[in-house]
Chain A
Amino acid sequence: MGVERVQEIFREVFGDGNLNIFPEMTAKHVANWDSFNHINLIIALEEAFGISFATEEMAEMANVGDLIKILRKKGHAVSW
């Protein structure tokens, strides 16, 4: 699964079919990326990739690039 799947998940969680993710993207680029939707995003990624994020990892995802790095650390070859 590549970054396209991650982008699909972002589009579903934030309800925006035109959302295009990029490494430096943070919550300030997405209108409704608050703590609730951060957790919705976490849960959607966990289900899609069959993984579990530790508290530390959830907190360290300040931008999309950080998120992709964590997915790679968990063994998923996600690349831009």
Chain B
Amino acid sequence: MRFPFVVRFETSMARIAPFMSNTVAKMRGVFGESWEARFEETLSKMFADEKTMENAIKGYVRFALEATKLQKRFEKDREYIPKTYADVAQDVYHNEDYMRNLYLPGILLSHYLWPHHYRQLMYFHEVFVPRMLASDDRSFVDVGVGTGFYSRQLLCASNDVKGKAYDISQHAGNYSAMQMKAFNLLDRWQCELRNVLSAEIRQDWPFLLSVEVLEHLEDPVTFLKRLRAMLRKGGSGFITAAITAPNADHIYLYNEPRDIIAQLEEAGFELIDFLEEKGYESIAEEPVPRIAAFIVA
């Protein structure tokens, strides 16, 4: 059996949530063996224990069902449920049970189980990682580290990559550290619990990540201006956002990539390249969840 952890995941998923039993097979069918090998590596290092894997699957099922139900509501209303940043910080980022048991495992597994999230990952490896590997200075900052997934991708790209992460959630910091530990990366990465808007922050990073943060903010432009200040002249950033994709903590609605491009340019970024991907095809012109990823300087 070449990918025993993926097989175990698939079997457990079919038992826990029979209505999601085709998820792994669909991804395997579209993305093939390279997808399966990547998924196997993550499962074997982070969810090797049966109970841990089962808990992660349960978290993912809840995360995905919540998002799908919100999407159905969004199809009618075309707006996110009104919430403030303070609301979502309390309900989500500082809620240990929600973060550990639903949100973080849900997001982590979505990188492999949602086609648009996996396509974004492939784009990251094809277009952004080579930019870092071509540089003498391979240090990066990850703002809004979340699960630590993208930090891990960069750290695994080469043994001389070093990174620093910021997040406002202690639970995200802990989960990210758990991921780095699983991949033996803790000696090249550190995480600080800090809001980058309200602190003295280093301002000459050669590489910057900020993955799916913008849609969580009341004022993305102020945040983007801070990111621009953190990136050195000639540096490269990878910034992404969700589009027409409601979630428990999404408060800023982007309808098109051009909405985000306008904000990036207002913040002083130069757009180098971008990707837009849909979660699935719409049937009757209803809005579908999308991601957009931008490489900026």
**Residues of A participating in the B interface, judged by any CB pair closer than 8 Å:** 26-28, 33-40, 42-43, 55-56, 58-59, 62-63
Q: Closest A residue to B26 by CB, please name it.
A: A34
Docked-complex contact B22 and A59, CB < 8 angstroms: no
| Interfacial chain A residues near B193, Cβ < 8 Å | none
User: Which chain A residues border B19 with CB–CB below 8 Å?
Assistant: 26-27, 33-35, 37-38
Instruction: Say whether B18 contacts A62, CB under 8 Å.
Output: yes
Q: Which 5 A-B pairs have the closest CB atoms?
A: A27-B18, A27-B19, A26-B18, A38-B19, A39-B68
Chain A binding surface, main DSSP class = helix
Cβ B18 vs Cβ A39 within 8 A:
no
Q: Tally B residues with Cβ within 8 Å of A.
A: 20
- The answer to whether A39 touches B21, judged by C-beta atoms less than 8 angstroms apart, is no
Contacting residues, chain B, for A63 (C-beta < 8 A): 18
Residues in A with CB closer than 8 Å to B20 are 34-35
**Nearest A residue to B66, CB-CB:** A55
Query: What residues on A are CB-neighbors of B64 within 8 Å?
Result: 35
**Closest Cβ of chain A: how far from B77's Cβ, in Å?**
14
| Bound complex: CA A77 to CA B62 (Å) | 27
- A28: chain B residues within 8 A (beta carbon): 14, 18, 21
Interface residues of B (CB under 8 A from A): 14-23, 58, 61-62, 64-66, 68-69, 72, 102
Bound CA–CA A27/B14 (angstroms): 9
Can you list 5 contacts pairing A with B, beta carbon distance less than 8 Å?
A: A28-B14, A37-B19, A40-B72, A62-B16, A62-B17
Q: Please tell me if the beta carbons of B69 and A43 are within 8 angstroms of each other in the complex.
A: yes
> Complex formed: what's the CA distance from A62 to B23 in Å?
16
Are B18 and A59 within 8 A (Cβ)? no
Question: How many angstroms from the CA of A3 to the CA of B62 in the assembled complex?
Answer: 26
Knowing A34-B22, A59-B58 touch, does A39 contact B17 (C-beta < 8 A)?
Answer: no
B69–chain A nearest beta-carbon distance, Å: 5
Contact between chains at B72 and A39 (CB < 8 Å): yes
Q: Which residues of A sit under 8 angstroms from B14, Cβ to Cβ?
A: 28
